[in-house]
Amino acid sequence: MMSVDEGRSRAAVPAGRPGPPTGPDRNARMAGLMTAAAGGSEEALGQIVTELTPLLWQVARAAGLSSGDAEDVLQTVWLRLLSHLDGIRSPASLTAWLVVTTKREAWRVRAAGRRHVPADQDWLAALPDQGPGSEDQVIVDDQRRALWAAIGRLDQRCQELLRIIAFVPRPDYAAVAAKLGMRPGSVGPTRGRCLAKLRALLASGPEGSPV
Amino acid sequence: MTPPDAGGWPPADGPLDEADLELLAGIRDLFQAADPMPADLPERIRFSLALRDLEIEVARLAAEEDQQALAVRGPEQSRTITFDSDSLTIMIRIDQNRDGTARVDGWLAPPERRDIELKTGGGSLDAASDAQGRFAFARVPQGTAQLVVRPAEQGASGSGRSVVTPALIL
């Protein structure tokens, strides 16, 4: 059996892109924004919206909503937060509350079954373009393609979980995973089934043949 | 640095390592490119959160009917949208005026006299429903708009909360 090619999985990531801000600075800043927002600061609330809406967009889309439904659902979620902000104690709880509420609102829309079937959900069909680039870019493109293909071979639950967690600020992983009730597959202090499976797929190459 | 696993793939119960975090960053980049959030969405959400009401009840979009497709009604376009909250159903019909503004006719159920605000990008418009729950805004500028139905008069059965819809595009 091949050993994991660490270099390959590592380099699958286009370098230099900042992820969601992490660390104690972010926590302190978010906690401050939450206090100010609970006190009625529109500006503070607006900053929280700007920071967390990209995550919630992915949650809504991963739940199978059309773009239009996703926009409506996210508005509903944020409006609902206005009545709950007082009771949420930490940035991690806020992220978890928003993610779970988005999922619930998305289920609600889907369960109602009245809305049009989304025509714009075939995201796996096309690998997003990174634009023209250097020789280095060609290597990165191969790695992106391999990662995209591996994601496509995961079961739907893992696709959804990893898609969500990838947008969650790192200190909030555990709180979100616990709230999602996805413990068995989930990412938190441990790697979890879904990431382990993804790494196995990447290491074994397309269709299980050696790379 | 994490040493490569001897003879196998990293176990699910192992601790998250750098390679995991970088994979997650790669997944984020891919989905950000494949299915990006509309750039103006945070702005629209900020608009809908700018409320002076302390206690609110959220009205969810319950149904939307675009009658333009029926095409038998002539050039005029008409949309009917229904919102539901715990205490109230709001139905509105949006018609395009010739001058480019929109006319919004609405009905509340249960029918009640309520003060109603239509927030728009250009400021707020005010109206009130009649005893049959009807209200109207004759000329609303195009763009983002959001309805706020204020609590019923003191002494009435109202919950004391304003009913708020998501912002929609007129």
User: What number is the ipTM of this complex?
Assistant: 0.86
Q: Which chain A residue has the Cα nearest residue B49?
A: A79
**Cα(B16)–Cα(B10) distance, rounded to whole angstroms?**
10
Letter for the amino acid at B163? V
Three-class DSSP category at A21: coil
**Cα(B73)–Cα(A203) distance, rounded to whole angstroms?**
60
- CB-based contact (8 Å) between A85 and chain B? no
Q: How confident is the model at residue A182 (pLDDT cuts 50, 70, 90)?
A: low
Domain boundaries, chain A: 23-112, 129-208
Select the residue from A191, A197, A199, A202 to test the B interface by mutation, using most B Cβ atoms within 10 A: A191
CA B125 to chain centroid, in Å, comes to 18
**The CATH number, out of the four listed (3.65.10.10, 3.20.20.70, 3.30.499.10, 1.10.1740.10), of the domain defined by the range A23-112:** 1.10.1740.10
Evaluate whether residue B129 is within a structural domain: yes
Provide the token pair at A98: 């928003």
Evaluate whether residue B27 is within a structural domain: no
Q: Is the pLDDT of residue A56 over 60?
A: yes
pLDDT in tens, A150-180: 999 999 888 998 999 999 998 888 888 888 7
Residue B77 belongs to domain spanning: 41-169
pLDDT number for residue B11:
84
Evaluate whether residue B113 is within a structural domain: yes
Evaluate whether residue B1 is within a structural domain: no
Query: How many CB atoms are closer than 10 A to CB B26?
Result: 26
By C-alpha distance, which of B139, B138, B146, B148 is closest to B108? B148
Evaluate whether residue B128 is within a structural domain: yes
Its sign, for the CA torsion B85, B42, A60, A124, is positive
Q: Which residues of chain B have pLDDT under 70?
A: 1-8, 66-76, 153-159
CB contact under 8 A, A19 and B58: no
Number of folded domains that form chain B = 1
**Residue of A46, A72, A188 lying closest to B166 (CB–CB):** A72
pLDDT number for residue A141:
80
- CB-based contact (8 Å) between B8 and chain A? yes
